Structure formats: structure tokens, C-alpha cells
């Protein structure tokens, strides 16, 4: 399908590949976009340009949107689940670190969805074939609480609650350095223009607000922080904590993970501790807590040991 879009003042000066990335569907990779530009499948006012070309307000970008590849249905797998609560409409799970929530193009098995399909036989098709029942996500290395819808009614209700920000999410994190007693971080976020795996602060990004309160300082080494994001942007807590000078311990994208291994840290120290929401059928306000995992508890114990040794 051939599309034509005019560059606005907002995008003036953007690289051509970034501009196209922002407007094509997310199943089109950045490498595919760059290849299409080089092959002349993306034109600026009818002319070929390099991916690094800086677009100007008023220019017309013509490009062809490839068809979305067909998605195969996710398959059930006998993977143990740590179930906190379950009824006929919802299931609340404590997701372990290292497990991705739903299948992606390069990983089709071993996900939370594969485990859920084995546990809930009639989950397939609710919310999409690759993400059945999923209404919110956690990063692969983030552990903790996640709620899944077991029918369309619950999926619609929970999706609306997350969109309206009427749910309450609380995380516990271990950050590098001595964090302030409390604070609010308000910085807009967007996809990094070069490294598409990362998010970054962009003046024209999506609004993002994170509130935090320090629970415990361990000298100047690290701090245990309670975090309450008001918005739910990708990598929000991780990027916001980095921006105030306190990246999460073990964060391979935004911190100095190799320096944290001496503390027994092998993934970013972030755990979804608590989730509050209205039950989709009864409307009753519900609140659930996911126990802190052993690896995080062990890191806190190591920090106590280091602090005692320094004193």
C-alpha cells in the first residue's frame, strides 16, 4: 500500500529513517526501513535520498507499507506458574525474572503466554493470537505482579482501566548511589533515534511521570526505592532513574551492570511489588502483592554486609 505524508514543523530536521520509523507500523524493522530507502522505495518529493537525509517541513515523503506478516498462534507449554489469585475472569501471577510476557518474532516459546495457555485452555484469541489475555507487560528481566484477562469482558475492562490510569502500580527497585528521600520525575520518553532497543528522553516524546520514595540507603553504594509510575511507558522507571543519576543496579541498557556483579546482581533490580485495580465483573477494588524474589533479597543482604564492613 502506497502512502504519502507531509513533514510537519515537529519533524523538521529529523533523519529520514527516523521519520519513516515513526509513521510506519511497528512490525516494520528499522533495518528494513533503511534498506527500502536505499532501494528507492522511500522518496522525498519524488527523489531518492540517503537514510541520514534531514527532512524539512513541507516535504512530501512517499513510501510503501509492507503487508503485516501472518502471526502463528502461541502454543501451550507446561511451564510452572506462581499464581497469586485466580477466578473465572482474571488470573494474577508473580512473573519470574528472565521470562518474557508474550511470544515475539525471535522467541516463540518459554513465555508467560505459553504457560497461561496450558493453564487456561480457553484463553486463546482473547486480545490477539500472540498476546492472549495480556493487558499490560513487564520487561523480561523485571519480576513481579501481572494480571491477565480470561475472557473478553475482563480484557476490555482491564484495558480501559490501564488506559485511564485508574490502576495503581508499585515497584521496588535497587538504584545505584544515594537517592533523594523522595521525588517526582517528569520527563517525556520516546524510542532512541539510533539504538532502537533503548528509550530516551525526547522533548517531543510521550509524557511520562514517575514518583519515588527512598526506603533505605546503603552508605553511598545503593538505595532501595519504592517507585510509583503514573504513566506506563516502555522502560520508564529504568530511564527516569538513570536520568536523575541513579540507574538501577544490573541494568545492562541504562546502567553499569558489569560493576554490579560483585554484589550478586545479574539482572536489573526491579520488581513489580503491588497492583491495585477494579475487578472487571464486580467493580470491587482489589489489591495484590508479589513477594520479593530471592535474588533481590540476596542483593539487599549483601548490601547490609558491605555497609557493616565499612562502618
Q: Are residues 30 and 93 in the same domain?
A: no
Low-confidence winner among 14-18, 299-303, 305-309 (lowest mean pLDDT): 305-309
Q: What pLDDT shows up at residue 63? A: 85
pLDDT digits (tens, 9 = 90+) for 254-286: 998 888 888 889 999 999 999 999 999 999 999
Confidence band for 131, pLDDT divided at 50, 70 and 90: confident
Task: Give pLDDT, residue 33.
Answer: 85
| pLDDT for res 27 | 62
Tens-digit pLDDT profile for residues 182-193: 999 999 999 888
Mean pLDDT of 82-100: 96
pLDDT digits (tens, 9 = 90+) for 199-229: 999 988 999 999 999 999 998 999 999 999 9
Q: Judge if 247 and 184 occupy the same domain.
A: yes
C-alpha distances in Å from residue 115, one per residue of 112, 128, 162: 5, 16, 23
Average pLDDT score over the chain: 90
The CA distance from 92 to 84, in Å, is 5
Same domain, 144 and 196: no
Are residue 33 and residue 56 in the same domain, yes or no?
Answer: yes
Count of the separate structural domains present in the chain: 3
In a domain, residue 308? The reply is no
Known catalytic residues are 139
Domain stops at, among 64, 98, 116: 64
The CA angle 225-274-226, to the nearest 5 degrees, is: 10
Task: State the Cα–Cα distance between residues 214 and 98, nearest whole angstrom.
Answer: 26
Domain hosting residue 7, numbered range: 2-64
305: in domain: no
Are both 246 and 271 inside the same structural domain?
yes
| Boundary-marking domain end, from 164, 196, 223 | 164
Residues 150 and 203 in one domain: no
For the domain that residue 121 is a member of, what is the CATH number? 3.30.2350.10
Can you give the pTM of this predicted structure? 0.78
Pair 182, 213 in one domain = yes
Pairing of strands 83-86, 90-95: antiparallel
CATH code, domain carrying 43? 3.10.290.10
Amino acid at each position: 500500500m502506497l502512502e504519502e505524508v507531509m513533514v510537519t514543523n515537529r519533524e523538521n530536521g529529523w533523519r529520514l529513517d527516523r521519520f519513516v520509523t515513526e509513521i510506519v507500523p511497528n512490525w516494520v524493522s528499522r533495518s528494513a526501513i533503511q534498506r527500502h530507502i536505499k532501494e528507492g522505495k522511500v522518496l522525498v518529493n519524488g527523489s531518492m535520498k540517503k537514510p541520514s537525509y534531514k527532512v524539512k517541513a513541507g516535504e512530501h515523503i512517499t513510501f510503501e507499507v509492507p503487508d503485516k506478516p501472518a502471526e502463528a498462534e502461541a502454543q501451550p507449554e507446561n511451564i510452572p506458574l506462581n499464581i497469586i489469585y485466580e477466578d473465572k475472569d482474571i488470573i494474577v501471577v508473580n512473573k519470574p525474572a528472565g521470562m518474557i510476557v508474550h511470544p515475539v518474532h525471535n522467541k516463540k516459546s518459554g513465555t508467560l503466554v505459553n504457560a497461561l495457555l496450558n493453564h487456561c485452555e480457553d484463553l486463546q484469541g482473547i486480545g490477539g493470537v500472540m498476546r492472549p489475555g495480556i493487558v499490560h507487560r513487564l520487561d523480561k528481566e523485571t519480576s513481579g505482579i501481572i494480571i491477565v484477562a480470561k475472557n473478553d469482558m475482563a480484557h476490555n475492562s482491564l484495558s480501559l482501566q490501564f488506559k485511564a490510569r485508574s490502576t495503581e502500580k508499585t515497584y521496588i527497585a535497587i538504584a545505584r548511589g544515594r537517592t533523594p528521600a523522595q521525588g517526582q520525575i517528569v520527563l517525556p520518553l520516546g524510542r532512541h533515534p539510533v539504538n532502537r532497543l533503548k528509550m530516551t528522553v525526547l522533548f517531543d516524546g510521550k509524557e511520562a511521570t514517575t514518583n519515588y520514595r527512598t526506603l533505605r540507603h546503603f552508605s553511598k553504594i545503593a538505595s532501595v526505592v519504592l517507585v510509583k509510575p503514573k504513566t506506563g511507558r516502555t522502560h520508564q522507571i529504568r530511564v527516569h532513574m538513570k536520568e536523575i543519576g541513579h540507574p538501577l543496579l544490573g541494568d545492562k541498557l541504562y546502567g553499569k551492570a558489569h560493576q554490579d556483579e560483585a554484589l550478586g546482581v545479574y539482572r536489573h533490580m526491579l520488581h513489580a511489588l503491588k497492583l491495585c485495580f477494579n475487578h472487571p465483573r464486580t467493580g470491587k477494588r482489589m489489591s495484590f502483592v508479589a513477594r520479593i524474589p530471592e535474588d533481590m533479597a540476596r542483593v539487599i543482604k549483601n548490601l547490609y554486609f558491605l555497609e557493616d564492613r565499612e562502618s
